[in-house]
Amino acid sequence: MLTTNPFAEVSAFISPEVMQGYVVLMILLVIGGTLLDVLHKQSAKYFFAVAKSAEQDAKQKVDSSQKMSLAMKTVANEVLTSSEFCNQRRRLSHLMTMYGFVFFVATTAIMIFSYTGSGTEAPGLVAFLWHLGALSLCVGGYWFWFAIRVDVASEGVRWNQFNGRGDLFILGLLSMATFALLWSFTQAIGASALSTFLFALFIISSTFLFSSVYWSKFAHMFFKPAAAYQKKVAQADGSNENLPSDYDLSDPAVHEQFPDVPEYMGKNPPNMGLGIKREAPNHF
């Protein structure tokens, strides 16, 4: 099962051209949904407006080499390792879900476009990565849904409580990966009728995931790196998105500007910035 291309058997009653056309259609749906989301929320307009405002408030110029370095740091930190997550459980769950999705989608395209209908078997590694991607997506996604998202102590959300559009993306991911694994398993054991039914559910789930981009958080994966990069540039040029700078509360100049500091906190206040992280939330 783990090293078998499940799409090869399907090509006996669904032509490779139809499967390839379906993949192309899903790509177009993602592009179209993302563009509609950008137009509706005016995300591009917002990013350009913020960037222009930051240029006017910049205290120093950031050259192209520095911007390239910041872009690489964004890819390394926010994209590849999700270092912005302080909660390590949330970070690991996110990484398992993200990399599982990437491997699953990439290997699906490889097997459909290169190893269906031609009589050539897909390399065992490609099929294995397809199954591993789906499994990783399920582990990370179900961990998030049942253990992190529903942390009643901090969030007060039950596992069976649907949170509107915010949950469409994760539900689409989980249903797609779950039915994919069940379809492959039933195909491997020869349960043809059940396998066909699960394959239909897999296609329905995939279509739901990729056609609901406009309403779900799917486009978030494209906006998040852009926002992270823009924030790094704003910090580098000193504009800091028009946010106030971090003050040294023991500085006499700060005391003069904010007389309440020494009055209520003393002339050498302790650093209280990370106090919120000293204990797990348990206020519900």
Distance separating alpha carbons of residues 201 and 176, to the nearest angstrom = 8
Query: Using one digit for the tens of pLDDT, what is the confidence trace for 182-214?
Result: 999 999 998 889 999 999 999 999 999 999 988
Q: What is residue 103's predicted lDDT score, i.e. its pLDDT? A: 96
Looking at residue 284, what is its pLDDT? Answer: 40
User: Could you tell me which of 69, 59, 84, 83 has the C-alpha nearest to residue 245?
Assistant: 59
Looking at residue 240, the DSSP 8-state letter turns out to be: G
pLDDT tens string 81-128: 888 787 788 889 999 999 999 999 999 999 999 888 766 788 889 999
pLDDT at res. 272: 61
H or E segment and range at residue 236: helix 220-237
Categorise residue 5: left if φ over 0, alpha if ψ from -120 to 50, beta otherwise. beta
Residue 118 carries which DSSP code? S
SS (H, E, C) 102-128: HHHHHHHHHHHHHCCCCCCCCCHHHHH
Low pLDDT (below 70) residues in the chain:
44, 54, 118-119, 150-157, 241-245, 270-284
- Cα–Cα distance, 127 to 116 (Å, whole number): 12
Tokens coding 166 = 């915010």
Q: What is the largest CA-CA distance in the chain?
A: 81
Q: Which of 30, 5, 3 is nearest to 16 (CA)?
A: 5
